[in-house]
């Protein structure tokens, strides 16, 4: 198999290959499916135990990251309304969904955006929106970086056997 020449422009570097496009479509499909099924009236009742388990795993992941960054875990709470809270000192991790829940859903416990707003005097919605946009920028940079760095990975072993790079 011949290796492609290195991309000459930024646009060439971040343009996904055929296999990368398939992977991006599959990821988008999973995200859309989860977002829809997670909130459908009857399905969400059936999924309730799995939601609580997901929240518990999510909170344990916060605790694991906290342990890796030297934080002291004070407590982990999973609430019946599908909310969760991991209290730790020196906490240094945040995900997009946490920010959306802090900004939009506001289930239980005061949100990080609310606490930051109290400290700065800015509206909590503005703090949450800024947090969301910064996280989205990092997520986008990560995807684009992955497209550029791993472009030749599928040359040796394609995602789908027998597929070709277009």
Instruction: Spell out the domain ranges in the chain.
Output: 13-90, 94-149
* Average pLDDT of the segment spanning 18-45: 87
- Chain centroid to Cα 14, Å, comes to 20
pLDDT tens-digit readout, 89-114: 754 445 555 666 655 665 555 666 67
Higher-scoring residue by pLDDT: 101, 6: 6
- Give yes or no for residue 57 having a pLDDT over 90: yes
Percentage of the residues of the chain whose pLDDT score is greater than 90 = 8
**Under a CB-based contact definition with an 8 Å cutoff, are residues 154 and 20 in contact?**
yes
pLDDT-based confidence at residue 123 (cuts at 50, 70, 90): confident
Which long-range contacts (C-beta less than 8 Å, at least 24 apart) are formed by 127-134? 128/99, 128/102, 128/103, 128/104, 129/103, 131/94, 131/99, 131/102, 131/103, 132/96, 132/99, 132/100, 132/103
* Average pLDDT of the segment spanning 21-25: 89
């Amino acid at each position: 198999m011949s290796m492609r020449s290195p991309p000459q422009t930024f646009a060439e570097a971040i343009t996904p290959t055929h296999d990368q496009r398939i992977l991006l479509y599959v990821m988008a499909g999973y995200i859309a499916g989860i977002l829809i099924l997670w909130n459908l009236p009857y399905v969400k009742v059936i999924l309730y135990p799995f939601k609580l388990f997901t929240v518990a795993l999510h909170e344990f992941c916060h605790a694991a990251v906290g342990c890796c960054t030297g934080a002291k875990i004070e407590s982990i709470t999973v609430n019946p309304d599908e909310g969760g809270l991991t209290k730790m000192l020196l906490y240094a991790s945040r995900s997009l969904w946490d920010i959306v829940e802090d900004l939009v859903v506001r289930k239980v416990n005061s949100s990080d955006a609310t606490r930051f707003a109290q400290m700065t005097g800015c509206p909590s919605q503005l703090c949450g929106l800024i947090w969301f946009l910064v996280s989205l920028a990092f997520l986008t940079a990560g995807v684009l970086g992955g497209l550029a760095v791993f472009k030749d990975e599928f040359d040796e072993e394609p995602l789908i056997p027998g597929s070709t790079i277009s």
